[in-house]
Chain A
Amino acid sequence: MLDTKSTDQPYRKWVEFAIESLIRVIGFSSIGFVFLIFLFLMREGLTALLDVSWGNLLGTRWYPILDIYGVLPLLLGSILVTLIAILIALPLGVGTAVFVREVAPGWAREILKPMIEVMAGIPSVVLGFFGMTLLAPLFLKYLGLATGLTAFTGSVILAYMALPTIISVAEDALDAVPKSYRDASLAMGATQWQTIWRVVIPAARSGILTAIMLGLGRAIGETMLVMMVTGNAGRMPLTLDSLFRPIRTMTATIAAEMGEVAQGSSHYHVLFALGIILFLVTFIINLAAASAIFRKRRRGGLR
């Protein structure tokens, strides 16, 4: 016995070393790839600043055929659709999370949780299809619009898409609130709703904030769905009724135009610049989410 053990030792050490190196190579190369993608994006996108003047880029019209590359309507389009989507998804998502975690009886929770996971698995093309054929005609008919393919239609479907993320992250946040807080509140004579509203939700707020940020991140990067249902007209959404008109987002623009653009042309570089803007926006959102998580950890560590 002792003998086999001692002859095994170098072999096992070697396997250990091989596995460790492999994992290290994989880890570093994925970081490396992300970095390369970033470099590529920067190289192709920043060149736009050489080709196209700042005035042109910061303009309010997007007509690539006439060499007019104002990115503002696209940026504002993305922001509008995403913000409205989150405004719709936030109360619904947090409400559902509260229902699932705090109110629903055990059996209902057992049914709801897998349903929410299924919801998260619906491909965005399918949601876009649903929006085009069902929601858009509905809005067209009942809201008295010129077309059903509007920013609002996009927001509603995006909200639906962001919901599962928001629900499950918010539910985890509620779940992490210690029972002792609820007990303290109930023992003082607060009702269940007062306890949820004044104790549980405030205690879970950083987790709920993270849920919103993750939902935002998902929504702003979504392409297929918005391309299908927002009508893709590049105009500045400055008036209130813009919400019920077609709009064009950065993601839809890149997806629609990248295939036909001549490589190395100004148009090509501006599309990459759009990619950089998108990247920055998502990066800031993720940073905000991460700092919310960090604050929560630090507070947890204090106790």
Chain B
Amino acid sequence: MIRVDQNKNHLVNKISVENLYFYYGKFPALKDITIQIQDRQITALIGPSGCGKSTFLRCLNRMNDTIPNTRAVGKVLLDDKNIYSPDADVINLRSKVGMVFQRPNPFPQSIYNNVAFGPRVLGFDKSTKNLDDIVEESLRGAALWDEVKDKLDQDAQALSLGEQQRLCIARTIAVKPDVILMDEPCSALDPIATYEIEELMRILKEKYCIIIVTHSMQQAARVSDWTGFFWLGELVEFNHTHEIFTFPRSKLTHDYISGRAG
């Protein structure tokens, strides 16, 4: 793999993946992935479909554990603790590493209950905050408050898809994660809703470590600070986004971003 020195002073390493392999049964979907992901930055993962982007993302919050017959080998350090060590707490991990899915998937409940779900399930400090405040704060954080503040009791699934996706983001940040994983969050959305999510990501970046899978190279170029290019389960190249898109080091990357492969 081709890499450059990432260590600029203001950057803090949030996630370090070391020699990660992942298997569906015998099929190796990820091979020897090593990558450092910085806090308060947006890292985009690109590559043709089936190259293992979603699989990699699900390794970071161990959602792959819910798929039978799978196995991860290697290390994923979150704040220097290996999330795959035997004493790691998956529940705690998932509350720290939130996830936004490809299709907006709000629960068929009210807008309020969707956002309140995480705090209710995981508990919150009742002496300093009440649930209403958490819900408002989270909806503001997802740039949705003004649109829904008068209809918090309404069915979340009556919202437009773009609003639903921002609701899912609000639901995720309501549990105060450190990291937000987004698996093609705009692929079901129209250009305007996509633009709104991208704007939101730029704001969220101030507080969270964001990793986004996208099949749109323009999107990666627009929003991300770092870009990783996956190919057949391998991380071919990882670099500053402007470097990847202007001076790709690998021929595969070059061919892919110029539309000649994939």
| Inter-chain contact B175/A189, CB cutoff 8 Å | yes
Report the bound CA distance from A186 to B122 in whole Å.
Answer: 11
Task: Give the nearest-CB partner of B66 in chain A.
Answer: A186
Task: Give the nearest-CB partner of A181 in chain B.
Answer: B107
Complex interface residues of chain B between 78 and 123 (CB less than 8 A to chain A): 91-95, 98-99, 101, 103, 105-109, 117-118, 120-122
Interface segment, one of A51-59, A149-157, A195-203: A195-203
- Residues in B neighbouring A181, C-beta threshold 8 A: 105, 107-108
| Inter-chain contact A188/B157, CB cutoff 8 Å | no
| Inter-chain contact B121/A187, CB cutoff 8 Å | no
Report the bound CA distance from A191 to B172 in whole Å.
Answer: 16
B142 within 8 A of A: no
| Inter-chain contact B101/A183, CB cutoff 8 Å | yes
Looking at chain A's contact residues, is the secondary structure mostly helix, strand, loop, or mixed? helix
Which of B117, B121, B175 has the most CB atoms of chain A within a 10 A radius of its CB? B121
A185 within 8 A of B: yes
Task: Give the nearest-CB partner of B158 in chain A.
Answer: A302
| Inter-chain contact B158/A180, CB cutoff 8 Å | no
Q: A104 CB to closest chain B CB, in angstroms?
A: 14
| Inter-chain contact B107/A189, CB cutoff 8 Å | no
A39 within 8 A of B: no
| Inter-chain contact B108/A299, CB cutoff 8 Å | yes
Complex interface residues of chain A between 187 and 231 (CB less than 8 A to chain B): 187-191, 194, 198-199, 202-203
- Residues in B neighbouring A180, C-beta threshold 8 A: 101, 103, 105
Report the bound CA distance from A199 to B113 in whole Å.
Answer: 11
B168 within 8 A of A: yes
Q: B205 CB to closest chain A CB, in angstroms?
A: 20
| Inter-chain contact B105/A198, CB cutoff 8 Å | no
Set A189, A199, A202, A302: member contacting B94, Cβ < 8 A? A189
B interface residues, how many (CB within 8 angstroms):
29
Q: CB-CB contacts of A273-303 with B at 8 A, as 1s and 0s?
A: 0000000000000000000000000010011
Task: Give the nearest-CB partner of A177 in chain B.
Answer: B108
Q: A190 CB to closest chain B CB, in angstroms?
A: 5
| Inter-chain contact A189/B108, CB cutoff 8 Å | no
Report the bound CA distance from A12 to B122 in whole Å.
Answer: 67
Task: Give the nearest-CB partner of A203 in chain B.
Answer: B108
Q: B64 CB to closest chain A CB, in angstroms?
A: 11
Report the bound CA distance from A70 to B171 in whole Å.
Answer: 59
Task: Give the nearest-CB partner of A192 in chain B.
Answer: B66
| Inter-chain contact B94/A188, CB cutoff 8 Å | yes
Q: CB-CB contacts of B108-141 with A at 8 A, as 1s and 0s?
A: 1100000001101110000000000000000000
User: If the complex has contacts A181-B107, A184-B168, A202-B109, are A190 and B101 also in contact, measured as CB distance less than 8 A?
Assistant: no
B63 within 8 A of A: yes
| Inter-chain contact B94/A187, CB cutoff 8 Å | yes
User: If the complex has contacts A180-B105, A183-B105, are A188 and B95 also in contact, measured as CB distance less than 8 A?
Assistant: yes
User: Which 5 pairs show the lowest CB-CB distances between chains A and B?
Assistant: A189-B95, A180-B105, A189-B94, A187-B99, A190-B121
**Which A positions have Cβ atoms within 8 angstroms of B?**
178, 180-181, 183-191, 194, 198-199, 202-203, 299, 302-303
Contact sample, A vs B, 25 pairs, CB 8 Å cutoff = A180-B101, A180-B105, A183-B63, A183-B66, A183-B101, A184-B106, A184-B107, A187-B94, A187-B98, A187-B101, A188-B94, A188-B98, A188-B99, A188-B122, A188-B172, A189-B93, A189-B118, A189-B175, A190-B117, A190-B118, A190-B121, A190-B122, A198-B117, A198-B121, A299-B157
